[in-house]
Every structure is written in C-alpha cells, then in structure tokens.
Amino acid sequence: MDHLDGGFGRFKSLRKDDFEADWIKVSESSLGAVYRVKLKVLRETCALKCFDTTLSGNNVYRRMTDEVSKLAKVKFRYVVSIYGVCSDPVGVVMEFMNGGSLNSLLASHTLTWPKKFHMIHEVTMGMNYLHSLAPPLLHLNLKPTNILLDDHLHVKIADFGLIKWEEAANQKELVEQLTERGNVSYIPPEAYSPSPSPPGTTFDVYSFSIVMWEILTQSKPYPGSSITTVLMKVSSGRRPSLEMIPDNKPPESDLLISIMQQCWDQEHWNRPEFSETVRKTELLSEVLRLPGTSVGGSHGDQPHTPDYSLLCTSQRKSIHNAPDSASGDDQDSDGVLFFLSQRDFQSFRRSLKKEHLSLRYSDNNSLLHYAVASGDIESVRLVLAHGAQTNCPSKRGYTPLIVSILHRLHDISTLLVESKADVNLGDSEDWTPLHFAAQNGDDRDVRLLLDKGARPGSKEQTGWTPLHLAIQNGHESVVRLLLSRLDSASEGEGPQGRTPLHLASAYGHVSIAKLLLSQGADPNAVDQSQSTSLHLAAEAGHFRVARLLIKEGSEVNLKDRRHYTPLHVSALKGHAGICRQLLAQGAMPDARTLQGWTPMHLAALKGHGACLLLLESHQASVDVCGEGGWTPLLLACHHTHEDATSKLLAAHACPHLADDRGWTPLHLACHSGSFPSVLQLISHGALVNARNGAQATPLHLAAQRGYGAVVRALLLNGADRRLGDASGCTALELARRSGREEVIQILEEEE
C-alpha cells in the first residue's frame, strides 16, 4: 500500500483491505451508504461514501475516479476534504466529520441566534469558495444533509460536484435525479420551465435560501406537501412561511431574512452572488460574535446572551462611518473619527481638542468609546488625559470598559480601571463588565475585575451571574477564579432556579461538574421544575456527567414536577447508555409519571428500540397501561415505529390489549397504513376482526384510508368483509364513499 505513504497529501486509490474490519454505518439511502472507517497504515478515521452500482451503472468507478481526482484538489476550511476513491466497494473516501449533519443537529437541538447566524455565514464561505473557482464548481445538491459539522459545530460543505448537468440527458432528467435524492424543496423555479437553460450559480443560491430558512426556523419547508404540491407552490412564487421564524429573533435577523428573500427571488438573475452575500453575513455574524453557542435541551437550557442588536463588537466597524453628534452637528468637522477609522493615530492625537470630549455621536457613543474600540492605548490615554468621563454610557448602557472587555483589550481595560472606571456598572440589562468577561472566557480580564472589586455574585436582569455564564460556555479557568471569590459552589440560583451544577450538567461540562462537586455542590438540588442535575444530564445525553453524578450520590429515582425520573427522560430521548447506567444503579423500570407513563411507554412513543430492549431485560412491564389505557405497543403502532413494534412483540407484548376507546394495536397500524407492523401483529396472533368503540374492524380503517396492501393482508388472514360498523357500513361501502379505487377493486374481487 505504498500509495498511502506521505499521508493524505495526494489523491489515493484504495481497496477494502486498506481499511480496518470494523466499519460503522453512519447513514443510508436508496443511493448507497456512508461508513466510518479507519485506514490500517495511517490509523486515520475517514468517511467512505459507497454507491449502489446497480443504480449508477457499470462504469461508475471509472467516471468517479476521473471526477473525484479533480475534486480532491479542492482544499478549503469550509468544504469537506476528499482523499480518494475505493474500488471495492465503489465509493469516495473523505474527511470524517464527528458532528454529523446539519440536518440532524437542527432536528435534535435548539440553536442560539448567534450560532444560527454564524452557521449561515460559514455556509456562504464554503459556497463562495466553490463558486470562485474557474470555472465555478456548482453543487446542485445543497441541503442540510450535505452540510456537515466538526466537533465544535463548525460547518463544512459536502457532496459538492457530484451532480453533473452534462450527465443528464435533459433538464427533466436532472430534476428527476434531484427529486429522487429528496431535494424537491431546494430546486429553483426555473428548473421547471418548459425550456430551461443549464443551471448556473444562482441554482445553488436558491438552494442556500431554503437552507437559511431551515436554520432560522429549525423546521422543514412545506410540511406534509406532496412533490407535486411543492412544485406548484415554487413555480407560482410561493416560499416557506416567514411566520415560522421564532418571535424572539434579534433585530439583525430582519437583515438576514431580507438576504434570504433576495436569494429565493423568482427570477434567477435577481439573486445575489455568494461573493456579495458572504460580506453581508460576515457583518451580521460579527454583530452576534459573543460566545454562548452551546445547544440546549427541552428544559429551556438556552445559552444566555444579552440583547445583541447594538452590541459593541460592532464599534470598530461603526467608526468607519460619520456618526451623528448629540449637539446636532452631523459632520465630523475636525476629522477625529475619520483618523481613528483609518488608524491614523498620530493625526488623531494632533487633531484632538478638549471640546471633542463633550460631543455625543451615533447611539450616544462618546469619543472615548471610539478610541477604546480602535484598540490604540496611546489614543485612549490621551483622551483620558483631556478629561474624558470613564463611565459614560452609550444608548444601550455600554461603558468604555465594557467595550474594552468585549474586544479583549486587556491593557486598555487595565488603564480604564486605573482611571476610576466603575467595574460594577452594568448596561441597560444589568450585564456588568464581569458578566461579559466571564462569557468571553477571558481569565485575565476576570482576574483584573475581581481584584478591583467586581462583585462575583452580581445578577443581570434575568438572574444570570458571571459564574453561570462561565459554566454554560465551558470556561473552566474562569469558573475556578470565580469560585475562589464566592462562599460556596451552590451560591446564587440562576434562571428557573438552576444551580451552577445544573448548568454544568445540562451542557455536558464534566470537568466543571467535578470541580463544583468537589467544592460541595449538592448533586440532588432541584430547580423550579424539581429537576435534579441528573435529570438534565440524562435528557441531554451527557453520559460522563451522568456517571459522575451517580458516583457522587445523585438519587436515580427522584421525580421532577411531572413525576419524570432520570430514567424517563433518558428513555424518551433514546440515550441507551444512560438508561443502562441508571438501571444498573437501581432505577425503577416501571416508575410512573403523572399521566401514568413508564419509561417503556416513552421509549415506545419515540421508537427507541435499544431502550425498549434494555428496559425489558430489567423486568419492565411491556403491557403496562397508561393514561387512556395506552400500552407501549399501542404507542409504537400509533406512531408507526415499526422496529419498536417488532421488539415489543418479540418481548411478548399482548397484541390484543385495547385502549379505553377499544382500539387495538392492529386498529392503529391499519389506520396509519404501517404494512410491516400489520404483518408483525397478525403473525403474533392479533385479532383481525376486533371491533373498537365505533364497531369498526381493522379492515374498515384500512379500506377507508385506501391502504390496498393492508386490506389484502387482512383478507388473507381471515378478516370478515361482511361486518358492518356502528352505522352499518361495510369496508366496501366505506371505500366507495372515500373513492378508494384500489381497495374497491380488491374487495369486489373477494365478493
């Protein structure tokens, strides 16, 4: 395997024997599968994207080698690196991304606004690079599943250049290819025109606009619409609803929405190029530049940030404009701000006059604000020497010290503090300089502020302390500094009554959780919803934190306000490893919530088969009834979780048990049209002629909804087509009323 010598510097041709044997399937589709593999010689983990050659043609390897050898030369921070090809099985070898796809992240986590803005900007960076090549490299397959994430949730574009216009016989064939890949929502309207031109860069711009909408809303476009319906909506100029964007959006999102609307313009020539969009998203991303981009769970663990709309991280940019003066003079007549914007500090110092200090510019910023934002300490020193007020606030209450802390200008911060800047003076939302320094993770500024009398337990308007912010963002060194100035590790409840340990557990910072516990934090303290730190760790899937909490005395059977135990929340979220850990430590497998749900119910509700098996192996009841008489099997059938249905039946769940309305699992499976579940239930002895409260049999339900295959299976297994429901209708009559032609034909054949 000498072709691997020298690492990944050159394009490679690999074989199955070049990889370790333990391949892990990451994803699968009708076109192939992606595996996580490890190269034997280099010990490097890669992704192997295999293709189904029966669908791709016999010469796919030769064509792929020619194309991928070109794509392997594309190297950029925001695109996935391609290393080579594999001949057996046929596939592309590429960089492995531990963070999975953007599609999965949007479905499983609630992102903060700063993170949404930053991700959108990183997508534009990657796409701008691809389009800047000569000739432009078109993606034609841009969607969240092809946007991958690294360990720190930074974006990289994948699967670029694999869809080729010239390989399609015509535009219709290209659209069919994309539709087959699940791309109908990302195809621009011009693709459906009678005589379309070959796609250009604006094709990707339109796809990007839909990706933007998905990031902003964390929803899927056109929910419940068929392919034909989506095509008609897009062709007529309709787009995903802006009302889906959350109401708590920051003011800057209006600019981002405007960019999105330009990108999905009906006329492709009106859409901006990525070279234009990337500059706009860069500015917006910088406005929301503060740390705090962790993801939170359903307990409301949203990373906390101040109101960003006039955040002083934009001060450096604002000095490039002519600010307004509070005195009514809109002109920077002496050019002092202009000199700062040009970083001509000598001219600034020569031009500075005492009267400049009394002026107020845009958003009530003083000259000292701008001098600080410039980063030049000598200019700041001169402005202070002329008598500038060190504690003058901007419109949002930002003092020059806050501006300096935001920009991590430690020497200037020291100068301001020595010039009597108030270290405890907060902004309009009571964020003190220490809050900003703690969120930034800047331990030098934190130490400076604490040494000068900053109060470590101060709270902003919603109750967050600097300690909470440092914990949330994983800044362990800052946490240690703050703890050294506080009386206890549990001091100061945060929002929702959360202790510092709650936050460390919710965000998965195991070393910080260990530190807090060593300082006496109570592992069984509860927040306003009566959740313990173990509840939060179990819900978020932080295995190491959960293990630490149990080791340090967390009670595994404590219930929150809804009577959920940690086992309930881990089963609901499908965290099998944490379920196993809790059960091993004595968690009650049949504990009930206020609605009578057991962990088995919740695992079935979400279709988490591995959790179901674990619970059953610890003697959890598979036939336990919750609210409304619902059993785990009923829930699995109702939500069409076919794998969960199979596992419950294999664990001897009773297929006859009905809910309070008389609906059996077979009724529910027929109502939802889940053919595999219907077959599973019949093979386990389900009663095919059972009647619900409306006297309907499973055959009535399948016939009314038009599930021909289900109807045929029921008839083959003894379903009585002559039975009437409460209104006297047979299955055939219901099918006729509903216009189910296929079912009518099947039932008439039987007749």
CATH of the domain at 112: 1.10.510.10
144-148 CB contacts, 8 Å cutoff, 24+ apart: 144/101, 144/102, 144/103, 144/106, 144/211, 144/214, 145/101, 145/102, 145/103, 145/182, 146/101, 147/101, 147/102, 147/103, 147/123, 147/211, 148/80, 148/97, 148/99, 148/100, 148/101, 148/102
Q: Which residues pair with 226 in a beta bridge?
A: none
Residues 702, 674: one domain? yes
Rounded to whole angstroms, the Cα distance separating 93 from 265 reads 36
Average pLDDT, whole number, for the chain? 83
Could you tell me the CATH number of the domain that includes residue 324?
Answer: 1.25.40.20
Residues 106, 214: one domain? yes
Mean pLDDT by 10 residues, the chain (751 residues): 39 78 76 81 82 53 64 81 81 86 86 88 93 86 90 84 50 57 79 72 94 94 80 85 86 87 92 90 64 34 38 28 30 67 85 83 86 92 92 91 92 95 92 92 93 92 89 91 81 78 92 94 93 94 95 96 95 94 96 94 93 95 93 93 94 94 95 92 95 94 93 94 93 92 87 63
Which pLDDT value is given to residue 368?
A: 93
228-234 CB contacts, 8 Å cutoff, 24+ apart: 230/184, 230/185, 231/184, 231/192, 234/187, 234/188, 234/189, 234/192
Enter the DSSP assignment of 64: H
Rounded to whole angstroms, the Cα distance separating 88 from 16 reads 6
Question: Angle at the Cα of 154 (from 20 to 286), degrees rounded to 5?
Answer: 165
- Whether 415 is in a domain gets the answer yes
Which pLDDT value is given to residue 633?
A: 96
- Whether 607 is in a domain gets the answer no
Residues 136, 275: one domain? yes
Residues 127, 229: one domain? yes
Residues 398, 251: one domain? no
Which pLDDT value is given to residue 565?
A: 97
Residues 112, 67: one domain? no
Residues 6, 148: one domain? no
| Helix residue ranges per DSSP H, 224-344 | 227-235, 253-263, 274-287, 315-318, 336-341
- Whether 330 is in a domain gets the answer yes
Residues 245, 165: one domain? yes
- Whether 405 is in a domain gets the answer yes
Q: Copy the structure tokens of residue 637.
A: 């059938």
All residues at 6 or more sequence positions from 127 whose CB lies less than 8 Å from its CB, including other chains: 139, 142, 157, 204, 208, 274
Residues 211, 341: one domain? no
- Whether 616 is in a domain gets the answer no
Number of structural domains, the chain? 4
Residues 136, 220: one domain? yes
Residues 146, 277: one domain? yes
End position of a domain, from candidates 422, 438, 468: 422
CA 598 remoteness from chain centre: 28
Which pLDDT value is given to residue 31?
A: 64
Handedness of CA 233, 238, 242, 243 (dihedral sign): negative
- Whether 138 is in a domain gets the answer yes
Residues 121, 215: one domain? yes
Q: Which domain holds residue 417?
A: 310-422
- Whether 550 is in a domain gets the answer no
Q: How many residues does the chain have?
A: 751
End position of a domain, from candidates 72, 95, 118: 95
Radius of gyration of the chain (CA): 31
End position of a domain, from candidates 68, 95, 122: 95
Beta strands 147-149 and 90-95 are unpaired
